[in-house]
Amino acid sequence: MALILTFLGKGGTGRTTIAIAAAKQLASQGRRVLLAGQDPGPALGVLLQTSLSADPQEIAPNLHAVQFQTAVLLERSWESIKNLEAEYLRSPLLKDVYGQEMGVLPGMDSVLALNAIREYDEGGKYDVIIYDGSGDLATLRMLGVPEIFSWYIRRFRKVIEGSDLWRALSPFIQPVTSAILNVSWTGDTFGQQPTNKFNDLMDQGKAAVADPNRVAAYLVTNDDAAAIATAQYLWGSAQQVGLTVGGILLDRAPSTEAFAAQFAPLPVTSVPERVGNDWQPLIDALPNWQQATQVPRAIEVDVPGRQVRLFLPGFDKKQVKLTQYGPEVTIEAGDQRRNILLPPPLNGQPVQGAKFQNSYLTISFG
């Protein structure tokens, strides 16, 4: 399994340049690196001084690069969907719909990129995958897809299974599915077949994003006030998808005590400007990427103490909202919403109190 790194920050702070430098650094250390660019424009290829394609190509020893092309990813994913459908339907419905004729809808870019990263990770050819995405909330929502989709599956499954409609239809489900599909559905197996593969993928994705040994992000900023505020906002928003932020990369500015205090306890690394094609000073200044394992985790669950603590830096008390409409607890911070799946001793228990202090939201249960 590969270490997946990505960089967050305001546009123009040098995220792509730092992604390339990180790829060069890790490749020079003998790590097998894939640098994956989301932007279909020419910027990444110009900086790398090579032309990129939709398939990985070696651009230096131990270093491969790929430029995601959404239309190509859509074609490949559609074929996988058709193959999966053929496993369960005796008369597949999608066989006459071709990926080559499908247009790209808004939001497809991120989901298809996430799936491509997953496939490259599973392929076992790379030790590190560096994702050069948009570096904003779109990237965070992409990495939050496994958790969000998992909630939809488990929540709607419970709602449907408990409905009068399902109880009325369930006696007819068995003969109908036996006649049409290659599987048998009952109330107990709803949401498992044929979605069991999908559930497994979502669980694996959630576990990977929550593990700083597998996935980590780094904030990139300069000394501009807007860039700093954006970095702080993205820091807190990353916690809402369970993503670990491992540190700050301060572009072309020395770190000061006041700056470090705004991002404490994250380590701050000042990086120099790249001059021409001389990447070495920038590469030498980069941090040890494994330091992400030392920073605060996004969520801590204390079952004996009947408490949950969430680390939400970059937000104040007025920006954080706690609700409990169903068996889970929902946290809103900024433009992100997170449903917390609690362990059995706390699941469904009423919230007795909540306190937001020093960037931590502490929730107590009855």
Per residue in 163-192, pLDDT tens? 776 677 666 655 655 555 555 555 444 444
pLDDT of res. 178: 58
The answer on pLDDT for 232 being more than 70 is yes
pLDDT of res. 272: 95
Domains and CATH numbers, the chain: 3-74+101-148+202-294 (3.40.50.300), 150-196 (no CATH), 299-365 (2.60.40.790)
Share of the chain above pLDDT 90, in %: 57
pLDDT of res. 197: 63
Q: Is 241:215 a contact under the CB 8 Å cutoff? A: no
The answer on pLDDT for 130 being more than 80 is yes
- Confidence class for position 98, pLDDT limits 50, 70, 90: confident
Between the CA of residue 224 and those of 136, 250, 251, 264, 268, what are the distances in Å? 17, 10, 10, 18, 16
- Confidence class for position 247, pLDDT limits 50, 70, 90: very high
pLDDT of res. 170: 65
Q: Is 304:343 a contact under the CB 8 Å cutoff? A: no
- Confidence class for position 84, pLDDT limits 50, 70, 90: low
Distance, in Å, from the CA atom of 133 to the CA atom of 38, rounded to the nearest integer, reads 5
The answer on pLDDT for 321 being more than 70 is yes
* DSSP β-bridge partners for residue 89: 181
pLDDT of res. 190: 46
Average pLDDT, the chain: 87
Model confidence pLDDT, tens digit, residues 32-73: 999 999 988 899 999 999 999 999 999 999 999 999 998 888
pLDDT of res. 315: 92
The answer on pLDDT for 200 being more than 70 is yes
The answer on pLDDT for 157 being more than 70 is yes
pLDDT of res. 191: 45
* pLDDT, mean of residues 360-364: 95
Model confidence pLDDT, tens digit, residues 32-41: 999 999 988 8
Share of the chain above pLDDT 70, in %: 89
Residue, of 211 and 193, whose pLDDT is higher: 211
- Confidence class for position 133, pLDDT limits 50, 70, 90: very high
The answer on pLDDT for 218 being more than 70 is yes
Of the candidate ranges 72-81, 217-226, 323-332, the one whose mean pLDDT is the lowest: 72-81
pLDDT of res. 45: 93
Residue by residue, what is the 3-state secondary structure of the chain? Answer: CCEEEEEECCCCCCHHHHHHHHHHHHHHCCCCEEEEECCCCCHHHHHHCCCCCCCCEEEECCEEEEECCHHHHHHHHHHHHHHHHHHHECCCCCCCCCHHHCCCCCCHHHHHHHHHHHHHHHHCCCCEEEEECCCCHHHHHHHCHHHHHHHHHHHHHHHHHCCHHHHHHHHHHHHHHHHHECCCCCCCCCCCCCCHHHHHHHHHHHHHHHCCCCEEEEEEECCCHHHHHHHHHHHHHHHCCCCCEEEEEEECCCCCHHHHHHCCCCCEEEECCCECCECHHHHHHCCCHHHHHHCCCCEEEECCCCEEEEECCCCCHHHEEEECCCCCEEEEECCEEEEECCCCCCCCCCEEEEEEECCEEEEEEC
- Confidence class for position 18, pLDDT limits 50, 70, 90: very high
The C-alpha angle 242, 359, 335, rounded to 5 degrees, equals 55
pLDDT of res. 196: 63
Of the candidate ranges 173-177, 252-256, 339-343, the one whose mean pLDDT is the lowest: 173-177
Distance, in Å, from the CA atom of 279 to the CA atom of 182, rounded to the nearest integer, reads 56
Reported pTM:
0.87
* Most confident option among 143-147, 207-211, 246-250: 246-250
Quickly tell me which residue has 């660019």 as its tokens.
37
The answer on pLDDT for 318 being more than 60 is yes
